[in-house]
Amino acid sequence: MLVFGLTGGIGSGKSTVAARFRERGLPVVDADQVARDAVAPGSDGLAELVAAFGPGVLDPDGALDRKRLAAVVFADAAERKRLEAIVHPRVRALTIARFAALAGAGEPLACNEVPLLVESGLAAALRPLVVVSVPEAVQLERTVARDGCTADEARARVRAQLPLADKVALADHVIDNSGDRAATCRRADEVLDTICTHAGVDPARYPR
């Protein structure tokens, strides 16, 4: 099974493209969802986080309070490393298991949607690489609208990531999401069909 990568930047519309791929029946494994599942209520991952950082990282329902945990770890490099040592191996294991299940079910093609794919050094392993891109002004506008943050906060979030231009430079396929959803979906369809053809998979397997 060929697994290709999908990434972008904050506010670029990566989730729109992932949704279009899913609409066509392509399996998409979302790294953010896998990370949530790795520390879901009742999981060993969550239990280990509570043991490491205390019950204060839980919300009233017993789920992980990510903002509280972030306040603990992001001011302290040693604590951040401890968090990563707990979470990252579980995320890797879950990701491998999900793709193994897809391969076992006979799927010839799948997508791994990873926000920090390039930053994590995964570009070479997830070829072809699809990058969803918009101008920075659009990133800022969409981030403010989506998250209810200030323009300065949105700018800080955008600048904290690798510039989209750097990701585009590494891409095999670029999807411009600065227009409307219909235009983005048309481009996503073209990209998926091209990937299918190069992988020897009939694009008709994923009908539009």
pLDDT per position as a tens digit, 45-89:
999 999 999 999 999 999 999 988 988 887 788 998 999 999 999
Alpha-carbon distance of 5 to 28, in angstroms, equals: 10
Decide if 174 contacts 168 (C-beta within 8 A). yes
Alpha-carbon distance of 126 to 25, in angstroms, equals: 20
Q: Which residues lie below 8 Å from residue 147, measured CB to CB, with a gap of 6+?
A: 153, 154
Q: For residue 132, what are the CA distances in angstroms to 16, 52, 66, 117, 163?
A: 9, 37, 26, 12, 12
Pairwise pLDDT comparison (103 vs 84), residue with the higher score: 103
The two structure tokens encoding residue 81: 């490393």
Instruction: Please report, for the chain, how many H helices and E strands are present, in that order.
Output: 9, 5
Instruction: Provide DSSP, 20-78.
Output: HHHHTT--EEEHHHHHHHHT-TT-HHHHHHHHHH-GGGB-TTSSB-HHHHHHHHTT-HH
**Minimum mean pLDDT among 3-17, 97-111, 128-142, 153-167: which range?**
153-167
Residue 76 confidence (pLDDT): 85
Which residues are registered as beta bridge partners of 2?
A: 109
Residue 124 confidence (pLDDT): 95
Q: Is the pTM of the predicted complex or chain greater than 0.95?
A: no
- Length of the chain counted residue by residue: 208
